[in-house]
Structure 1
């Protein structure tokens, strides 16, 4: 059965059949929540993950092509590369795509291809960031005069292969906060693909990644992952600060993210609220 036919059957049954791409720190929590009925109107149909699993999955583990035949909604929980490689194909099949790794959407060429790909639709989850509705409302009244995000994490979660010896030494020897990069939401997510999805999410919400200034800070004393958004616009001045417990298995991810994904799935399955 093709994805459009599956979607039609799902529409009659009133249940979204969800394919989960990735069974890691995020996917595991989302998958278990779906399989235990935590999202009315949605059921987990399959998992797509190329890695061998060391645990029993609640649903079949399928190749990507077979998942498209089984699902009308795919959830990306495995990194930006999935969006680049498979995003268009998901949408062309007629299935919707919920993106967790929003850093991929700062690639303007990719975003334009996804917009043209349909008939499926792209959605993204707010993940570890709040205040997006207000930022969108203020932006609608005129361009923000200033918008800056500062993300602070433990040094070990920010290490990257492109770092030179000097920067690596600063990271290893840090006894206090160290600024690793300053730039826009267009270029920072490419340098820290697993740690700056919040920057990309803010950029997508306001519609201009070059307007969002981003600072990435490593702090060996950080107990939680911290995101601070500061903005000035025609209606006033705003500041949002979020501190999240990092995921125990993957400290680069905030533990709240999979629950934000479950909330987004609830909206897409017909529950109240809005998904971006």
Structure 2
């Protein structure tokens, strides 16, 4: 039987997604369907696929509602290879724009939209650049990891950071090193995390801090998607790692330049520990129909 899917293509700093609404949870995704939708030659094309489903119709969504009864909508997110992902920082901003522009939710300035994810409930607000999401507490992984990448001379140490999904951040010495990486190949991590990790390569700007804001450049190989033009949670992990390396006196506000644009990162205290937020643009590019 042929199913007609009404979809929307969205992007946040070049990190692009196929989105569709399935409020009652009647169209669960399998890996083959995700790969077909994300295929850039035979499908719509994207770094991931996002299904908008009411939290009450998913087991993970029920957990989100138990955490926050206001989390009506769940971001059912999949990487381009069909694998399930816990969170996506750019994706959740695009998801918020999708919900509001399709009339599925409202979000005026000063208000908060609670969204369920597999990493827990995340709160989104509007700001001057588009949307800002509180990614909650972050955690430092003390595992000593080395990273090898194609066209990178010698293995480098990586710093493990979790912001709801796993990251390993590598500091590079120059823009030439960063630009010379071939991230069409999967970086090799030793030891290899059981569930994989996003890998970020970072170069600090010179000077590192301007007017109290830290500046870095980053490229990323995303778990399940390959190199992307941007990774929101990766930008957050990169800023956290750079602050960690810089030591006392490093700023809590950062600008992260990625191939697809610029996002903002801010660290701030909360009742359960330090939280980190991500801000940046989110756009809906086009909509259409696809027969599956």
Taking structure 1 as the reference length, what is the TM-score of the superposition?
0.28
Judging by fraction of residues, say which structure has more helix.
1
